[in-house]
Amino acid sequence: MGGCVQGNHRRLRRSFGAFLVALALGGMAATPSLAFADSANLVALPDFTPIVKQYGPAVVNISTTETKEAQRPQSPFPPNSPLNQFFAPFVGPSGPAHKYQVQSLGSGFIVSPDGYIVTAAHVVRGAQKIIVSLTNHQQYQAKLVGLSTRIDVALLKIDAKNLPTVQIGDSGRLEVGQWVLAVGAPFGFENSVTQGVISATSRPLPDDPYIPFIQTDVPINPGNSGGPLFNMKGQVIGINDQIYTNSGGYMGLSFSIPINVAMDAVKQLKLHQKVHFGWLGVMVQDVSMDLAKSFHMKEPMGALVSQVEPDGPAAKAGLKPGDVIVSFNGQPIYNSAQLPPLVGALPAGYIAKVGIIRDGKAMTLPITVESLPGDMAEEAGAPHSAQAPEQKGSIERMHIQVGPLSAAARQQLGVSSGVLVLGVANGPAALAGIRPGDVILQVAQQPVSSVSQLQKLVASLPAGQPVPVLLHRREGNFYVVLSLPK
């Protein structure tokens, strides 16, 4: 660290010395003298003082208390074993699990004078007691009105009147480079103010597909969660929610929930309604360069449909695996992460115009959006007994061994056909990412129904050309690209 600072000082001295020499030479020579530009700055540095004075009192600190249970360690030997005496000092007496309390801190902001407060759901989820502290040092016990774990937004209510409130802005009008301000309680330091700029908008994260996050470089740390992100007008345009970190602290990447998304959920929570999400009933993935070639596309763009839920909205409209969604209600779709937030924001019954590419041809399908089912079942993995060993076979060109799926396995996995991958050797399949336990559903957009049919299909494919292969794995269906030898 010190070396870097010293190096910078040395470079500064060299630069300043060179400047003096150049200035002296310029004065000696018959050349125009060096002049400094007297123009106004393109950008003025912001002063956040008015925002903090006017809206800082509407930012609150939230402390929660949650009771958890710690299981007592158990002896690895039966109760009547003489070896238990050696473990008794370590495991302690037997009995019920030990209960302990966990306290945590977060932030929030007041949205109405009568005591409604917005924060992040993970700040208050599971809490038995929620205490809200105002900047005037008054404290209130808060009631949880409702929360949405999928949006990570919660609505609280305290018994108070004539409270200061924030002004809600429009997160749909944000642009990269705009100054923003965060107020919260990082590491418990109440009413701390940090600033930065918007680094990106509509940034998807793997665990939150329905939230088009605002990415900033505002220093956010534990305790900031649930606090407001202000624009230069003093309007709240986001809820500080997550950071990207390897150390547990700020590393330059902060993510906030857009206020338009959050307040839409808050309106439903205030009416004690379940938060609605639009649903098409598809699984999608990005289109790589190899996948684009295998589907005869000119460029890798769009959301590739890898799975269609039976009797879901997309299935009813005729959408199929292998279709590539390239537009949604007239908005271009460049990658799969763009689609869930657009769909999730639509009400049930809305007819969306979905532009797709099928077999290299463009077409538009009208799809009636439905509500996301509340009891979406998790996909189950392929059981070990899914194959009949006496019917397994080898696919020499792919360097794999496969076997048929039993009727029970197909029902459990939710697939109507396919073969189970039993073993993968070094070769084309391994390079494509196929591994044991995968179910091969399609090859070159042809359904796979049996081991023998797959053998014939693979034998007929051309060499050296990208071939799309649809797989089922525990997470769902997805495509890989296979290139076969002669």
Task: Render pLDDT for 293-351 as a digit per residue (tens, 0 to 9).
Answer: 888 888 899 999 998 988 899 999 999 999 999 999 999 999 888 898 899 888 888 99
The answer to whether the predicted template modeling score (pTM) of the entire model surpasses 0.85 is no
For the segment 131-148, the average pLDDT, to the nearest whole number, is: 93
How remote is the C-alpha of 468 from its chain's centroid? Answer: 27
Q: What is the rounded CA–CA span in Å between residue 10 and residue 4?
A: 10
Whether 364 has a pLDDT exceeding 90, the answer reads: yes
Residue 225 marked ligand-binding: yes
Q: Which amino acid is at 213?
A: F
Least confident range from 35-44, 70-79, 103-112, 208-217: namely 70-79
- Look at residue 480 in the predicted model and tell me its pLDDT: 92
CATH number of 167-270: 2.40.10.10
pLDDT digits (tens, 9 = 90+) for 372-428: 886 442 233 333 333 333 367 888 889 888 888 877 677 777 788 888 888 888 888
Phi–psi pair at 364, nearest 5 degrees: -125, 135
Provide CB contacts within 8 A for 62, sequence distance 6+: 105, 106, 107, 108, 117, 119, 123, 124, 130, 131, 132, 133, 142, 156, 226
Q: 86 pLDDT band (50/70/90 cuts)? A: low
Q: Is 152 annotated as a binding residue?
A: yes
**CB-based burial label for 453 (10 Å; 0-12, 13-18, 19+):** middle
- Helix ranges (DSSP H) in 102-177: 121-124
Q: What confidence tier does 71 reach under pLDDT thresholds 50, 70, 90?
A: low
CA distance 475 to 483: 24
Identical topology for domains 278-371 and 389-483: yes
Cα distance between residue 157 and residue 258, in whole Å:
22
Q: Does domain 278-371 have CATH number 3.40.50.300?
A: no
Please report the pLDDT score of residue 337 as a whole number: 85
| 3-state DSSP assignment of residue 167 | strand
What is the pLDDT at residue 124? 92
Candidates 3.30.70.260, 2.40.100.10, 2.30.42.10, 2.60.40.420; correct CATH number of 389-483?
2.30.42.10
Strand partners, 109: 59, 118
pLDDT (mean) for 355-367 = 92
**Beta strand ranges found along 299-360 (DSSP E):** 303-308, 324-328, 331-332, 351-358
Name the residues annotated as catalytic.
122, 152, 225
Does 207 appear as a known binding residue? Answer: no
Distance CA 401, CA 438 (A): 11
Instruction: Tell me: is residue 254 an annotated ligand-binding position.
Output: no
* In the chain, domain spans: 167-270, 278-371, 389-483
